């Protein structure tokens, strides 16, 4: 009897229909206006693709649209550049939820509620092969010993380029506190600085690096990709802080995408295949 009651309670709590009657929840506002307001950074391949091929708007763009369909409302998107902008928009009601390849951190959790991760990545790197030491005598494979960022701790003369205030930036400061670290406002700017020779190692989220390599495999002729796991970066949605009903509703939506394999198919579409690349 208690089990049956628990199942019924879970159904009502997670049901988007029941959520319409929950006073004070953002879900009630979304249902009343008939619109889910999503925010993120549209210049962030392949989470959002600024000039997409038909059927390939980006991982987070598709995820947001699927959630709007689940709620039975219209999907609208507004572009914002940074986490602080996402958090402020959600706080003021200009946006309801943020999807933007966001890594959750304790500091960021003070500004909003993070969902469980829908992608798990790690801190990775693209290091100029000329900055790596020569192989041991008789070894013709020059980079076999370098697979993760931590493998660089014995390499001298490295300079790093990273997006400021990101999980990758925090990681660099903890592992390489005495190294030269150049910070930029975006991962794209940080990567460009390495291509232009201002630093010899780009550090960023491994999913972003995988996207770069899918767009341009020739990168590997001059750079070594280090994307083996060093720490887990949890890519999550940002929701209004303290709105338990909205969070539970979204968690149920995510759990169904995992159960049916839709989430894995979406990951394969953008991070394991290059069909989205023009």
Please answer whether residues 156 and 266 qualify as being in contact, where contact means their C-beta atoms are separated by less than 8 angstroms. no
pLDDT score recorded for residue 145: 74
Residue 118's pLDDT band (cuts 50, 70, 90): very high
Distance of CA 91 to the CA centre of its chain: 21
Q: What is the pLDDT of residue 141?
A: 54
d(CA 56, CA 59): 8
The phi, psi pair for 129, rounded to 5°, reads -60, -30
Query: What's the rounded Cα separation, in Å, for the pair 62 and 123?
Result: 24
What pLDDT score was predicted for residue 56? 97
Cα dist. 217→53, 209, 235 in Å?
Answer: 19, 11, 25
Verdict on whether the full-model pTM lies above 0.75: yes
pLDDT in tens, 79-110: 998 899 999 999 999 999 999 999 898 889 99
Which domains are seen in the chain, by residue range?
Answer: 26-118+236-272 (3.40.190.10), 120-233 (3.40.190.10)
The per-residue DSSP string of 135-182 comes to: PPTT---TTTT--SGGGGGG--S-EEEEETTSHHHHHHHHH-TTSEEE
For the segment 181-216, what is each residue's pLDDT rounded down to a tens digit? 999 988 899 999 999 999 999 999 999 999 999 999
The C-alpha angle 51, 262, 82, rounded to 5 degrees, equals: 45
Among residues 246, 228, 260, 2, the alpha carbon closest in space to that of 114 is found at 246
Q: How far apart are CA 212 and CA 40, in angstroms?
A: 19
b/e sequence 6-34, b meaning 16+ C-beta within 10 Å: eeeeeeeebebeebeebeebbbbebbeee
With 70 as the cut, is the pLDDT of residue 172 above it?
yes
- Among the ranges given (63-72, 126-135, 254-263), the one the predictor scored with the smallest mean pLDDT: 126-135
């Amino acid at each position: 009897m208690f089990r049956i009651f628990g199942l019924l309670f879970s159904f009502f709590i997670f049901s988007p229909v029941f959520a319409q009657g929950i006073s004070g929840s953002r879900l009630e506002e979304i249902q009343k206006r008939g619109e889910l307001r999503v925010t993120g950074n549209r210049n962030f391949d392949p989470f959002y693709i600024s000039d997409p091929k038909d059927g390939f708007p980006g991982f987070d763009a598709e995820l947001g649209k699927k959630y709007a369909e689940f709620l039975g409302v219209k999907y609208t998107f507004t572009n914002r550049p940074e986490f602080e902008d996402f958090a402020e928009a959600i706080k003021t009601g200009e946006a309801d939820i943020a999807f933007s390849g966001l890594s959750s951190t304790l500091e960021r959790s003070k500004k909003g509620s993070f969902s469980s991760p829908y992608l798990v990545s790690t801190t990775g790197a693209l290091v100029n092969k000329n900055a790596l030491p020569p192989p041991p005598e008789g070894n013709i494979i020059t980079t076999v010993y370098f697979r993760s960022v931590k493998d660089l701790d014995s390499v001298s003369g490295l300079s790093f380029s990273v997006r400021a205030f990101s999980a990758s930036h925090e990681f660099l400061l903890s592992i390489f506190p005495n190294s030269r670290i150049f910070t930029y406002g975006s991962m794209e700017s940080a990567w460009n600085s390495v291509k232009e020779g201002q630093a010899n190692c780009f550090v960023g989220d491994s999913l972003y690096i995988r996207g770069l390599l899918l767009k341009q495999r020739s990168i590997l002729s001059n750079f070594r990709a280090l994307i083996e796991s060093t720490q887990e970066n949890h890519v999550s949605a940002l929701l209004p802080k303290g709105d338990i009903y909205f969070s539970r509703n979204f968690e149920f939506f995510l759990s169904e995408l995992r159960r049916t394999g839709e989430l894995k198919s979406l990951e394969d579409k953008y991070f394991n295949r290059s069909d989205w690349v023009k």
